[in-house]
Every structure is written in C-alpha cells, then in structure tokens.
Amino acid sequence: MSVAKTTAVRTLRPTTGWVAIDLHELVDFKDLIVEFARRDIKLRYRQTALGIAWVVLQPIVAAGVLNFAFGVVAGARPRGPSYFLFTFAGLLMWNLFSMTLNKTSLSLVGNSYLISKVYFPRLILPISGTLATLLDFAIGLGVLFVLQGFYGIAPQWQLVLVPVWIGMVLCLALGAGLIAAALTVQYRDIQHILPILIPFMLYASPVAYDVTQIPESYQRLFYLINPLAAPIVGFRASLLAAAPMPPLPYLAWSALFAIGMFGLGAAVFKRTERKFADVV
Amino acid sequence: MSSSPLAISIRGVSKKYTIRHDYTAPTTLGEAIVRRLRHPFARVVREPFWALKDVSFDVSRGEALAIIGINGAGKSTLLKILSRITEMSEGRVDLYGRVGSLLEVGTGFNQELTGRENIFLNGAILGMTRAEIRRQFDAIVAFAGVERFLDTPVKHYSSGMYVRLAFAVAAHLRSEILIVDEVLAVGDVEFQRKCLGKMRDVASDGRTVLLVSHNMAAVANLCSRAVVLRAGRLAFDGDVSHAIAEYSARDGATMVGDLRDRHDRAGKGEIRSTSIALRRSDGELTRAVRPYEPFEIVLSYDAKVPLAAVDVSVNIETPDGSRLLTLYSAFKNESFDVEPGPGTFVCRVAGLPLRPDTYTMDVFLGGNHAFYDHVERAVTFDIAPHDVYGSGRLPQWNEGPLLASYCWQAGGDAHEHGVLSARAARS
C-alpha cells in the first residue's frame, strides 16, 4: 500500500488585507503573458491595409502635427538643430506613457469575460498589454535612430540611460493604470475621466516644448507637479546632444514618485483583485 | 476514509455575498456622491447571503464525482472557488495536483484569430504551456476535424466547428484534476457523446474529474459518486444512483418555481417575481403539459412601489438556453398598473407546439423603458409525451423542437400547381 501524499500542491484559504505579488506564479504563467501580448499585437493591425506600418506612421504624423501647432503657430520652437526630432523623441515617451496607462486602466473591464470564467494571476493582463506597447515603442525607437542618422547626429554615451527613463515612465503609467483599473471595476466613470485627463497631461508635459522655455522661477514647480517631465527630458537628452539633462534633484524626486506610484498601484490592485470576479 | 490518495479536500467552505436591499443602488461615482451628500447618514441595508455554507467533502485521485442540485444551489460557486476564480469567505481547500477548469467552452476564443492561433491562445488561457500545446497540437486538430481551416479566422467557422475546436483544446488539457461545468449542454448529441467519451478516458486515466451537469444521464454514465447541494449546503454525498434519486425526489420534481430566494436575478427590483407555476385547465398545478394542451402560467410578484404599465414576459427555452418562444404582454398591447404589495399575473396559453422534452421558463418584468426583474430558468417543466399525430411517431431530438399541424397528399400536374416539374426544370 502506497503512502498517500500528505502535502497539498496548493492550499486555498480566504485572504484579507494587503497581499504580496506572487512572482513565482507570474513566471509559471509566462506563456500566457506572451500569448496575450501576441493577441494584442496581431489584432491591432489585422484587416488594415498598411498593417504594422501604422506603428511607424502614427508617431511621425503626430510629431508633425505637434510641430506645426507648437513650433509654427505658437512659436514655441526651442533652440536646437532639429525641432522635428525633438518632438518625435518626446512623443515616443509620451505614447509609451499614455498607451500603457490607457490599456492598463481598461485591462480588467475589457477582459471581464475571462475574469469570470478562468483563473490566472490578474496582473498578467496589464503586464501583457505593456509588452505589446513596448514593441511599438521599440519600433519607434528604431525610426528615431534612422532619423538621427539622417540628421547626422552621432549616438552618445548617455544612450545607456534610456532603460532608466523607460522604467520611470512605465512605473508611473502602470501605477496610475492599476489604480484606475481596480476603481473601474466598481465605478465605470473612470473610463470617461481618463480620456479627458490624458490629452490635458500631454499639454502639461514637455513633449513639444522644453522645460527651459518656462520662466526659471516656475521650472521647480513644474518638475515637482509633473513627475513625467524628468524622464521625458532625460530621454531626449540621452538621444539628442543639444538637449540638456534634467537637474538631478528633480530627477531623484521623479524616480521616487514613480516607484511610490507603482508600489501603491500594485498594492491597490492586489488588495481588490479577489473581488474582481464577483463584481465584474 | 478511502485508502486511495486524496485529490481534493474541501473543509468547511462557505461563500458569502452581500445583497444590498436597495433597488436604486448607485452604479456611477456621481450617483454615489450625490446620494452621500443628500443623505449623509443613510445606511444601505446589506444582508449577507450564503451561496455556500460549511461544505466539506473529499475527492480521491482517479474518481469521477458529480455535483448536482437545482439552479442557485451553489454548484457553480463551488466550482469557481475550486478553480480560483473567486475566493471563499471561510474554510480551506487542499488541491493535490494541477487543476484545469472548464466552466465554458472556448473561453477567450477570438473571432478575428485563426484556428491555429486560437488553439495556442485558448490552451494558454486554460493553463497549458506553449510546449505542451505544441506536443498536443496534431491531436487537437484531429479531434476537432478542422485540418483544412486551420489558417482561417474562426469567425468564418460554422458554430459546430467552433464548438468542436474549443472542446478539443480543453479535452487535451493534461491536468491531474479536471473541473467541468455544463459543458455537455452545448453541441449536438453526436458531439456530446464524443465529449462524454473523452471525459471517461480522462477518468480512467487515473485523473480526477469534477462534473456539474443537469443531464442526469451523463452524470450516471460518467460518475460513480455524486454530492447533492441544496441551498448552499451539502445535502447528500454518496453513490451516484442514490444521489440522483435523492435529487429527483426533493429538487427535481418541484412544480412551483419558488423565486424568493433567487439572488441571481437582474433588474432594478421595483417589482420582483416571487413564484411561477403551470396550472392545467382543471385547476391543478402541474409540472407537465401535453403538446397543444391549453394551460395557464401563474406568476406571483411583490411590488415595492406603485407602477404604471408593467409589461410581463415569460420566455420558453431549451435546457441549453436557446430561446424558443417569447410570451410578451407588450406584443399584445397588454400591460398592467400595479399597486404596492403582492399580486399575480396569469397568462392563458392556448397550447405550445413543442416536442415532448424538458424546457425552462425565464421571467421578465419591465415597462416604461425600465427593466425591473429578470430571472433565468425560473421553472423547469415538461412537455409530456403524447401521440399528437395519432401515428405513434414524434419528431426526434435532431428533427427540431417544434411541432406543426400539417398533412401531405399526392396528385395533380406540376403545371397545375404553378410550379415546374423536375423534367421541365432540367431542360
């Protein structure tokens, strides 16, 4: 007679309060993360005539429009060799932020049919959405390098800092997005608030203008209330030699804010996660 | 305790939902804030509702166990807890093996993706790794019989192909514990037989199967043991034939659909239906009527406020949820003013043209562009076998659910009938 296995593979019990993220489990589900990201990418450009070319076209056209509005109409063109490259670089960072925020906030409501029918760590939804957005970003970055070559700008050592800027922007976007996602499950209003807030944030961020164009006495306040400013400015400085780096104290503030935001977002998400299937 | 090793141990599992006795509950942030400002000290009355209460049982490895009970007894809640979709409120579950759960066929299937892409996506959603899916890919495709359409988006699939592919993916899930909810309710009988066979293979493979079904034939066929849930509690645990007998005697034959404790309802709740029953012309309540037999549907309600122009609808469906008939008062310009308190609507039906079988009724109350109450599967009833055509023959399951009054005869020339004869059409 064989001895029955006495240790359970998994024990389920009610949980209360704050819970930690189970990283081990996320690794177990890595194939699902990839499948969801794959689905997102495939569906976005299926049945489009230009297909993946939209990833390249969209930021170029958007940068052109911003160039016209800010540079030509408003006359806010900063000093430097190429204003177009300037806006394009800013827009890449902005798109990474706004798309991650938007997708994350909708990740639960948009997949409610899955949440009520099958288990997987719910964090997989925002993670896979972010992976798909990062692919768009990588393609945009490639275009930026090509444009740089075209304008004859040599890469500089500051390029190694790019992952830091990406990390800060993602922390901010995911943190805010996870809170929005958890709230949207209960209150669908968030779905309507974000589309108003996001364009507003675009104008409040140094995408098509430079922080140095703001009166000096306000720059401190600007960096303080918009933690997104430092990584955008930093990203541009890493790529375009002419653009200056943001001052270190503001950078530190921004990084702390981003980490805090992500921590808060993840904690709120994990705390409310257990109720999603009952409410959605 | 049996000597075979444990697969699942369920100890004192309870699940509490909170019912708000408040039929104007806010659904937007604005409403919530406005209410809070208007009535700063008002307290919403919340009543706990135990969907499951103190359920305990063990399942041994290699066992096929059925969970049976009427709608609202807590079966689906239990499956959702075991598959980790929702959390229990109290208790403990130990799972000795990987759990694969199948609460629906084709969860996450995407219309725009091809069959091949959906196999990988759906497999991953069910918990398979990419390597596992690749290993089983050919078997899945062969089981579904969709080789030629692998690279076609599934939106172009027939519904039969779609269901076959979805089940094929799920059937190749290699988890030690398989949880299945009402999957057998979809597809045609031939396909259901195939699914049943596949699940029997799973069980004889030494893996553990937990099955929820209303199909007692399937339950008896597949499972050796069953538990009966009644109002969230474990009412019976034992041999499958005894369980089915217990279920049929206590739950299956209820003639009156008591809706007072049904919490799985929709609508704002100004008026709620409280019971539904069928009454024969002799005044007796019944669970079965014959095809074309006149009868009445007696629907009781409880209104909280006076309402003008209430529309009533009873919708008749097959057990798998296909709508057959909608007996909607508004179709006949019949609507009713309702005073607060209990009352009754009666619908006189001249007869139903349905094949002898089991059907269910949905109840809907609405009016004035408002939606007050909707209860799905409010009552189950039978159309009793009856020799409608006087021939001793009736349509079978695959010949449609409806009956008609008709007669065939031969004679006359094709041109006489104003149609072409077969020969004229060919030339």
| Separation between Cα atoms, residue A234 and residue A251, nearest integer Å | 8
Contact criterion met (CB < 8 Å) for B96 and A9: yes
Residues 318-337 of B with CB under 8 A from A: none
Whether the predicted pLDDT of A3 surpasses 50: no
Residue A110 tokens, joined: 């948009």
Whether the predicted pLDDT of B282 surpasses 50: yes
CB B92, CB A13: distance < 8 Å? yes
Quote the pLDDT of residue B272. Answer: 93
The distance in angstroms from the start CA to the end CA of chain B is 79
Whether the predicted pLDDT of B21 surpasses 60: no
Average pLDDT over chain A, rounded to whole?
Answer: 87
| Average pLDDT of span A76-85 | 74
B113 shares contact with chain A (CB less than 8 Å)? yes
Range picked from A182-191, A268-277, B85-94 for highest mean pLDDT: B85-94
Q: A116-120, A213-217, B40-44, B236-240: which has the minimum mean pLDDT?
A: B40-44
Among B33, B82, B87, B118, pick the best mutation site for testing chain A contact (most A Cβ within 10 A). B87
| Separation between Cα atoms, residue B328 and residue B309, nearest integer Å | 13
Whether the predicted pLDDT of B365 surpasses 90: yes
The CA–CA distances, whole Å, from B170 to A112, A191, B123 equal: 20, 34, 7
Whether the predicted pLDDT of B344 surpasses 60: yes
Which residues 6+ apart lie within 8 Å of A261 measured at CB? A171, A172, A175, A176, A227
Quote the pLDDT of residue B42. Answer: 63
pLDDT band with cut points at 50, 70 and 90 for residue B105: confident
Q: A69-83, A184-198, B143-157, B385-399: which has the minimum mean pLDDT?
A: A69-83
Considering CB atoms only, which of B3, B112, B129 is closest to A31?
A: B129
Burial class (CB in 10 A: 0-12, 13-18, 19+), A45: middle
What is the tens place of the pLDDT at every residue in A7-41? 678 888 888 878 888 888 899 899 999 999 999 88
Burial class (CB in 10 A: 0-12, 13-18, 19+), A168: buried
Q: Using CA coordinates, name the residue in chain A closest to B30.
A: A189
Domains delineated in chain B: 6-252 (3.40.50.300), 257-387 (2.70.50.60)
Quote the pLDDT of residue A187. Answer: 84
Quote the pLDDT of residue B41. Answer: 65
| Separation between Cα atoms, residue A91 and residue B162, nearest integer Å | 42
Handedness of CA B343, B349, B354, B356 (dihedral sign): positive
What is the tens place of the pLDDT at every residue in A211-270? 888 888 888 889 989 999 999 999 999 988 777 888 899 999 999 999 999 999 999 999
Quote the pLDDT of residue B88. Answer: 93
Quote the pLDDT of residue B26. Answer: 63
pLDDT band with cut points at 50, 70 and 90 for residue B120: very high
CB A136, CB A44: distance < 8 Å? no
Question: Measured between CA atoms, how close is B17 to chain A, in angstroms?
Answer: 9
Question: Measured between CA atoms, how close is A143 to chain B, in angstroms?
Answer: 29
CB B205, CB B171: distance < 8 Å? no
What is the tens place of the pLDDT at every residue in B178-219? 888 876 555 566 666 777 787 788 878 888 999 988 777 778
Whether the predicted pLDDT of B362 surpasses 50: yes
Quote the pLDDT of residue B2. Answer: 45
pLDDT band with cut points at 50, 70 and 90 for residue B424: low
Give B59's strand partners. Answer: B8
Quote the pLDDT of residue B116. Answer: 94
Quote the pLDDT of residue A47. Answer: 72
| Average pLDDT of span B39-51 | 71
Average pLDDT over chain B, rounded to whole?
Answer: 84
To which H or E segment does residue B358 belong? strand B357-367
CB B108, CB A35: distance < 8 Å? no
What is the tens place of the pLDDT at every residue in B63-100? 999 998 877 788 989 999 999 999 999 999 999 988 88
pLDDT band with cut points at 50, 70 and 90 for residue A164: very high
pLDDT band with cut points at 50, 70 and 90 for residue B357: confident
Q: What pTM was computed for the model?
A: 0.72
β-bridge pairing B64-68 and B90-95: unpaired
| Separation between Cα atoms, residue A274 and residue A13, nearest integer Å | 12
CB B227, CB B243: distance < 8 Å? yes
Q: Measured between beta carbons, which residues in chain B are less than 8 angstroms from residue A11?
A: 92-95
Which has the closest alpha carbon to A201: A166, A219, A227?
A227
| Average pLDDT of span B315-326 | 85
Quote the pLDDT of residue B340. Answer: 92
Quote the pLDDT of residue A101. Answer: 96
Q: Using CA coordinates, name the residue in chain A closest to B90.
A: A14
Q: Measured between beta carbons, which residues in chain A are less than 8 angstroms from residue B117?
A: 38-39, 42
Q: Where in chain A are the domains? A: 53-279
Which residue is it, tokens 């645990």?
B237
| Separation between Cα atoms, residue B86 and residue A18, nearest integer Å | 17
Question: Measured between CA atoms, how close is B130 to chain A, in angstroms?
Answer: 6
Among B6, B16, B18, B29, pick the best mutation site for testing chain A contact (most A Cβ within 10 A). B29
| Separation between Cα atoms, residue B94 and residue A10, nearest integer Å | 6
Considering CB atoms only, which of A9, A12, A35 is closest to B120?
A: A35
Quote the pLDDT of residue B184. Answer: 56
Q: Measured between beta carbons, which residues in chain A are less than 8 angstroms from residue B6?
A: 4-5
Which residues 6+ apart lie within 8 Å of B335 measured at CB? B309, B310, B311, B329, B367
Quote the pLDDT of residue A5. Answer: 45
The interface pTM score, or ipTM, of the predicted complex is: 0.84
| Average pLDDT of span B322-348 | 92
Among A3, A7, A32, A190, pick the best mutation site for testing chain B contact (most B Cβ within 10 A). A32
Q: Measured between beta carbons, which residues in chain A are less than 8 angstroms from residue B63?
A: none
Which residue is it, tokens 């006149």?
B294
The answer for A118, left when phi > 0, alpha when psi is -120 to 50, beta otherwise, is beta
Whether the predicted pLDDT of B408 surpasses 70: yes
Quote the pLDDT of residue B34. Answer: 77
